[in-house]
A and B are shown apart, each in its own frame.
Chain A
């Protein structure tokens, strides 16, 4: 999408409290006017000269978000060679996010990673010799953003988006099958049914948007995944760290079949901690899903905590997990230190690179050591979290809002009795938007869904 107006935070989201929101594109002055208010309330930025600075406030409706300085640059005399507005915020990270959010609400699109630089280059602002660097930046930033977007997205949100998308594509496929084979599949009475499905999906999206507003969509903090064999004590550890009876704990191996997720703070370090199903070879289908998800989450994690039951021996399943830890930031917890040890610290140290700590979740010993280990890894910079998460959150929110709008359009079309083929146009827009959140494009999804769910053709 070239030519539209984009916005992003152009400084690092540090806690220093000062940052710049940059808006670039033909609509940037108009958008700035919609959210800016001067002291007297009369000044229109569009009427002001290029390369001037203006004092005032950014407002979301009537609410003042921040006191700001706004710098105006008309194209081609700006970094991107387009009309550009830079808003200097003072109110800290939260205010910066709100300002960007408000700009997006008023017509700007959250910029893709590296997009300002790309525009600058394509508009002839950068030196030819910089092209290589520009290409590297674009590719690197995108890869980073995609990875961080996916890994920072809360598991529960990812699942919610996925399930909404599944419903949407099912209904598009149904409509399309009926259009393709009308003598076979009828749409008699279908609009009413679709209306209630869309109503429900809108509700779900609404709740996701609400959580995005409070930043609850993203897993903020160091993404930590607890892995281990069934009954090694992963859930008990989680409960101990969280301080409440959260995970189901029984003596039956394989109880945690789903994924549990919590935000906790240990010694001031914020962790987004995920308890996973125990990893072992299993024939139980539900458990298999849990195991494969556990592996998936471990792949994206910043830190892996591997819990080992000291009272049992290491087996093939442990080998599998140890293989998974290779090259990763990991801490090994040798649990059940209160029982007679079959597996010892030495045995593990030989096999695993990371530190090994003996603990007993039951007796609550060794947790202090775990905290110290975490602190040292964090301050040494081995593990960290990134500020990209805030920006990603705004992008996600924009996608959720626009998906919800597309669904409203579907309901409007149903209400006024538009033909069914129009529904699938808006359903498809919603499907595409939601795909950007979880990093999936449309591709052959529809055709595949049609053929797998509906019996077509003569």
Chain B
């Protein structure tokens, strides 16, 4: 039989947010990469909300950028509104969110992919993975074409056996009516991969001309816009912004929903997938929070060159007629014309426990995966995993050591560790509360944390890396100077303090002590700090935060030290848990199932007690002696 056979270094399946980062990382690291998509026109598609970032997701984008990924740069050039969330709160929870021009976002990313060396886009559906003796050898497409490769990254998003549902209508398609991928699941199962079925949903899109904005509150972007990417010049992003609009559901909306619950596929049992709790459909909100008589609805533009608007807060899988009635009950939407119905989507994904923290399958060498395929949700979570999977696939092909980002280092580390060590039964979303060291993992210092890792991997240029080292030194020197600078109780100082509502000095203190006063900060104190060197504002910000929150930061650093000790205690891969009689049965089963690489990781598996960890430590020590003898 004559079929096409091609050879390449790396195959990426899917060109959504995970696939794009994965493919770019591999190609930029010099490996020949083919990225498959069911539709070239849907590269980097945003099938749900029209924004990038948000609480903790903004952190992810910054981290992707620091590692050498594309998402931050792409949104900086295609956003239409931007906002720093939680500005009134501590620096750890400041988070950037931008409204995207969806079409532009997609178009620019496609252009980047098309013009990256070593990268080839192919429109085809991958239907099989080819595995020999536990090693990935290639993939096969629907037409029978074979692509031999040395590593493959699966980023299939919500397309595997996808099914879209509203009311009693269901279609076997991916988002936006795109073709689903119906064969790959079977090939994965045949290779021993355990699959889950998850569900998510999206609200309707409405025609801007039919919306009465006078009944809504206008939501503006920030006056001074901060870019996502550390490489973007802030001056370049000070653009004319679009507005979003806020309105509310009401009792009537809720009555309509309640009266039609029996027609909801969610409640009739037609939908079997597990949905996310943080992104409930409007019918879920009305049922679960019955005491609330209204819910927020955000009307957000989908782009500059379309009249479509996204109805944030009202995702639904109710029948079409109910949807119309329901949306029309919301102030300002009385006459809204619906362009696209809301719908729920079900899809196949994997139980991510099968992955190691490098995002490679434990049982199939050379097979990596990222994004919603791994049971996560969100563009940013997807991109973050795609990037890590891409870097590691490339490093493996090059025969270099792969990277593992840990929990004390990044949100990406928290995301991946949670996915691979915790029981995950719903689409996983990032939240700042998931990070135990969040004071250290701020969006403002993502470059200091991760650019060295990106440089080591080869994605960040020497030039950028050198600039980072300079910035780091500048910050350290300045902290040193400020902490050792004595401020006397002279007239200038006292009147400055008085003017800022701060208690006058009785004895001399250091400038650092003044920075730590809640009512003052580093920037303000410039006035009484004559010898202060000229610093870029980003460096000044670091100086301020590090001094101001020193107590808490030190505490977390100490916890991190403790954490690292346990992470560094590696568990050899050939360990036989059945050989450790003192382990409780539950712990033994869980340890066998998850195969943790370190004592630290083992300690985070539910069902493994501190006593089990002590037993493991003793066992490993005993083994070490034996090995040494």
Contact = CB atoms under 8 A, between A and B. Distances in A.
Size bracket of the B interface: 35 or more
B57 to A, nearest CB: 10
Contacts of A61: none
A131 B606 contact: no
A115 B565 CA distance: 18
A143 interface: yes
B90 A422 contact: yes
A259 B90 CA distance: 45
B618 A446 contact: no
A418 B518 CA distance: 7
B580 A135 contact: yes
A455 B288 contact: yes
B615 A139 contact: yes
A381 interface: no
Interface in A423-458: 424-425, 443-444, 446-447, 450-451, 455-458
B327 to A, nearest CB: 15
B471 interface: no
A115 B611 CA distance: 10
A79 to B, nearest CB: 16
Contacts of A139: 582-584, 611-612, 615
Contact of B518 (A114, A143, A416, A457): A416
Given A184-B296, A421-B90, A422-B552, A443 B611 contact: no
B403 to A, nearest CB: 27
A40 interface: no
Contacts of A134: 618
A420 interface: yes
A226 B548 CA distance: 58
Interface in A169-210: 172, 176, 179-184, 187
B618 A142 contact: no
A446 B89 CA distance: 20
Interface string A128-156: 10011011101100110000000000000
A128 B89 contact: no
A16 interface: no
Nearest to A180: B55
Contact of B285 (A422, A424, A455): A455
A443 B606 contact: yes
Given A122-B617, A131-B621, A421 B279 contact: no
Contacts of B288: 455
Given A2-B565, A128-B625, A132-B582, A182 B55 contact: yes
B49 interface: yes
A354 B295 CA distance: 61
Contacts of A457: 276, 278-280
Interface stretch (B177-185, B383-391, B432-440, B524-532): B432-440
B55 A421 contact: no
Nearest to B280: A457
Contacts of B549: 422
Contacts of B116: none
Contacts of A422: 90, 549, 552
A19 B519 CA distance: 55
A440 to B, nearest CB: 12
Contacts, number: 130
Contacts of A286: none
Interface string A160-174: 000000000000100
A347 interface: no
A417 interface: yes
A183 B84 CA distance: 12
Contacts of B581: 132, 135-136
B582 A451 contact: no
A450 B431 CA distance: 11
Given A138-B615, A179-B55, A446 B433 contact: yes
A243 B266 CA distance: 59
A451 B278 contact: yes
A69 B434 CA distance: 49
Contacts of A22: none
B619 interface: yes
Interface string B281-307: 000010011001001101000000000
A182 B298 contact: no
A268 interface: no
B202 to A, nearest CB: 10
B330 to A, nearest CB: 14
Interface centre among A132, A419, A443 (most CB of B within 10 A): A419
6 interchain residue pairs of minimum CB distance: A142-B611, A419-B90, A135-B582, A131-B622, A451-B277, A176-B433
Given A183-B85, A421-B89, 20 more contacts: A112-B611, A118-B618, A131-B622, A134-B618, A135-B619, A139-B584, A142-B610, A142-B614, A179-B86, A187-B89, A419-B88, A421-B92, A424-B433, A444-B422, A446-B433, A450-B433, A451-B278, A455-B295, A457-B280, A458-B315
Interface of A: 1-2, 112-115, 118, 121-122, 128, 131-132, 134-136, 138-139, 142-143, 172, 176, 179-184, 187, 416-422, 424-425, 443-444, 446-447, 450-451, 455-458
30 contacts: A112-B614, A118-B617, A118-B618, A121-B618, A122-B621, A131-B621, A134-B618, A135-B618, A136-B582, A138-B611, A138-B614, A138-B615, A138-B618, A139-B583, A139-B611, A142-B614, A179-B433, A180-B55, A181-B55, A416-B518, A419-B90, A421-B90, A421-B438, A422-B549, A424-B433, A425-B552, A456-B277, A456-B278, A457-B280, A458-B49
